[in-house]
Amino acid sequence: MHREPSRRPGALDGWTPWPADVAERYRQLGYWRGETLGEMLRDRARQHPDRVAVVSGGRRLSYGELDRRADRLTAGLLRLGVRPGDRVVVQLPNIAEFFEVCFALFRLGALPVLALPAHRRAEISYFCQFTGAVAYVIADRDGGFDYRELAGQIQQETSTLKHVLVVGDPGRFTALSSVDAEPGELPGPAPGDVAFFQLSGGSTGVPKLIPRTHDDYLYSVRASAEICALHADSVYLAVLPVAHNFTLSSPGSLGALHAGGRVVLSPRPSPDEAFPLIERERVTLTALVPPLVPVWLDAARAPRHDLSSLRVLQVGGAKLSPEVARRARSTLAGCALQQVFGMAEGLVNYTRLDDPEDLVVETQGRPISPHDEIRVVDDEDRDVERGQVGHLLTRGPYTIRGYYKADAHNAAAFTRDGFYRTGDLVRLTPSGHLIVEGRAKDQINRGGEKIAAAEVEDHLLAHPSVRDAALVAMPDALLGERSCAFLVPHGRPPAPREINAFLRERGVARYKVPDRIEWVDSLPKTSVGKVDKKALRRRIAEELAQA
């Protein structure tokens, strides 16, 4: 029996469900099974309450414990006044509380907005205000940063925000550990309801929010776990931020929990932190962004830690070079390499574990689902010939039909018949695998971290000495790309240091601050009067090549 997306008071406005007939087809195909994320955990906890679900620092949480804590937290949140349909910005490092909080909110039907630890005042304040969040969940400190100070600023700016919940020392806020009550009966959300928001890498002035439903997300998790052959003895190590779609669902932590396996959390991705965990917990699967791969391979050559339990090393988030892919395969004996090309909006592609070496090394995989529809088109939305490079459009059982409350942007980001314009330039192989050839969206992919050029340009233009600004990608040996800002000054150009300090004061996340600044008299324009970013990218690439 399926339940329709909820019509209860508090059910979410401002999102685009799949058309009813399409949704019905996904149900009939068995993709959407009418289960919520909260029920999924409940079910696993019933099956094997004593198995370890999450390992984090000194904590080892069994399925039963995670399930109970989520229930008590749900009741505690309700008692605080958090209601179904409310939005809650969650910004946590890789710690077990991330799962306690998310599952509690899933069960309550309140919606986590999954921020990244690197986000700062500019981003968090936007998420809180745009979603009208009632609560903000943080850790006291992490990576040398005090999130309580940030929360203090956010609270002043956000009238809807009633609660700041803190893991650790709460200071003047509420300790998450004190949010606790006896569980009661709850109606809970419907499987077709939006469960939470992912954040888009974006290409526009403000970040876009991605509404993911229980049904669609669980399908991608379940199918991903199958593709990666996860089972109850699988151990997933999360080294990238847990909130990111790759780490959460591809198959990530949720895939491991779905399979009844174990999630091990590494606070940071360095081999120093990760390798001892791999050895101790007998990790079988982990996921990296490309810049980490050479670092890991170098460290793996010194046989200080036993990595022999690793079965699959996933790499995604940015393009992996075939050279590094080959090295990974030869260095890690007994461990398969898997390329993952995905997006928080939905579509995820994997090379399969039994794919021939050429496909694993040279392609970014093929879609999860036989019902992921892929089109590769030219600038006029006409299909290109198979094998030619074009824009990737997609729609399917776990790809959104629209961003949250973004009608104008949605009209450009989706075709009329519901295909998402990924902004990626790809080529299809005869086997149906995709090769990412570039990007048409105005974004910088800084080693997997996405920077929307327009967002940073807006911040730069707020500086009194900046008359015009264009942010572009420049090649970088370590990260693949870094960002370069071309700026036209008002009068005498200030030192780059001053511009960067200005952005930091505005509360912009560090990874978005330009890696390089070039002062110019004017920005080159195309024949239609737009900034010619291609010319700027060429210019900085040539300059770097000569240096």
Helix (H/G/I), strand (E/B), else coil: 311 = coil
Listed in sequence order, the DSSP H helices in 81-206 are 97-108, 121-131, 147-157
Report the residue number, 260 or 317, with the smaller CB distance to ligand OOB: 317
Q: How far apart, in whole angstroms, are the C-alpha atoms of residue 89 and residue 92?
A: 10
Size of the site for ligand OOB (CB under 6 A): 22
Write the CA distances from 534 to 388, 426, 454, 539, integer angstroms.
Answer: 21, 18, 15, 9
Q: Is 94 in the site for ligand OOB (CB under 6 A)?
A: no
Neighbouring-strand partners of residue 516: 484
Report the residue number, 192 or 342, with the smaller CB distance to ligand OOB: 342
Q: What track of x and - describes contact with ligand OOB for positions 277 through 306 (by CB under 6 A)?
A: ------------------------------
Q: What track of x and - describes contact with ligand OOB for positions 439 through 468 (by CB under 6 A)?
A: x-----x----x------------------
Q: How far apart, in whole angstroms, are the C-alpha atoms of residue 524 and residue 520?
A: 10
Out of 223, 318, 328, 444, the residue judged to bind ligand OOB by CB under 6 A: 318
> Which of 303, 464, 450, 430 minimizes the C-alpha distance to 362?
430
Q: How far apart, in whole angstroms, are the C-alpha atoms of residue 387 and residue 372?
A: 18
Neighbouring-strand partners of residue 421: 393
Of residues 406-435, which lie at the interface with ligand OOB (CB under 6 A)?
Answer: 422, 424
Neighbouring-strand partners of residue 192: none
Q: Is 202 in the site for ligand OOB (CB under 6 A)?
A: no
Report the residue number, 155 or 339, with the smaller CB distance to ligand OOB: 339
- Label the pairing between strands 449-452 and 443-446: antiparallel
Stretch that binds ligand OOB, among 304-312, 336-344, 406-414, 535-543 (CB under 6 A): 336-344
Out of 82, 194, 195, 344, the residue judged to bind ligand OOB by CB under 6 A: 344
Report the residue number, 419 or 502, with the smaller CB distance to ligand OOB: 419
Q: How far apart, in whole angstroms, are the C-alpha atoms of residue 469 and residue 357?
A: 44
Write the CA distances from 166 to 21, 477, 495, integer angstroms.
Answer: 43, 39, 38
Q: Is 117 in the site for ligand OOB (CB under 6 A)?
A: no
Q: Minimum Å distance from CB 121 to ligand OOB?
A: 21
- Label the pairing between strands 111-114 and 87-91: parallel
Report the residue number, 69 or 375, with the smaller CB distance to ligand OOB: 375
> Which of 287, 234, 260, 280 minimizes the C-alpha distance to 58?
280
Stretch that binds ligand OOB, among 60-68, 101-109, 314-322, 531-539 (CB under 6 A): 314-322
Q: Minimum Å distance from CB 483 to ligand OOB?
A: 15
Q: What track of x and - describes contact with ligand OOB for positions 345 through 384 (by CB under 6 A)?
A: ---x---------------x--------------------
Report the residue number, 191 or 252, with the smaller CB distance to ligand OOB: 252
Report the residue number, 253 or 422, with the smaller CB distance to ligand OOB: 422
Residue partners of 391: CB distance under 8 A and separation at least 6: 376, 377, 378, 379, 421, 422, 423, 424, 425, 440
Out of 18, 103, 341, 414, the residue judged to bind ligand OOB by CB under 6 A: 341
> Which of 301, 241, 304 minimizes the C-alpha distance to 272?
304
Out of 342, 390, 396, 494, the residue judged to bind ligand OOB by CB under 6 A: 342
Query: Per the structure block, which two tokens stand in for 313?
Result: 């090393």
Out of 340, 376, 499, 517, the residue judged to bind ligand OOB by CB under 6 A: 340
Q: Minimum Å distance from CB 316 to ligand OOB?
A: 4
Stretch that binds ligand OOB, among 68-76, 104-112, 175-183, 339-347 (CB under 6 A): 339-347
Q: Is 201 in the site for ligand OOB (CB under 6 A)?
A: yes
Stretch that binds ligand OOB, among 93-101, 135-143, 297-305, 338-346 (CB under 6 A): 338-346
Q: Minimum Å distance from CB 504 to ligand OOB?
A: 23
Any idea what DSSP says for residue 13? Answer: P
> Which of 134, 136, 129 minimizes the C-alpha distance to 165?
136
By CB atoms closer than 10 A (0-12, 13-18, 19+), residue 381 is middle
Query: Per the structure block, which two tokens stand in for 136?
Result: 């903000």
Polymer length of the chain: 547
Q: Is 316 in the site for ligand OOB (CB under 6 A)?
A: yes
Stretch that binds ligand OOB, among 41-49, 114-122, 259-267, 313-321 (CB under 6 A): 313-321
Q: Minimum Å distance from CB 451 to ligand OOB?
A: 11
Q: What are phi and psi of 210, to 5 degrees?
A: -110, 110
Report the residue number, 66 or 320, with the smaller CB distance to ligand OOB: 320
Query: Per the structure block, which two tokens stand in for 274?
Result: 């990760």
> 53 and 61 in contact (C-beta within 8 Å)?
yes
Stretch that binds ligand OOB, among 121-129, 175-183, 243-251, 497-505 (CB under 6 A): 243-251
Residue partners of 494: CB distance under 8 A and separation at least 6: 463, 465
Binding site for ligand OOB (CB under 6 A): 201, 245-246, 250, 316-319, 339-344, 348, 364, 422, 424, 436, 439, 445, 450
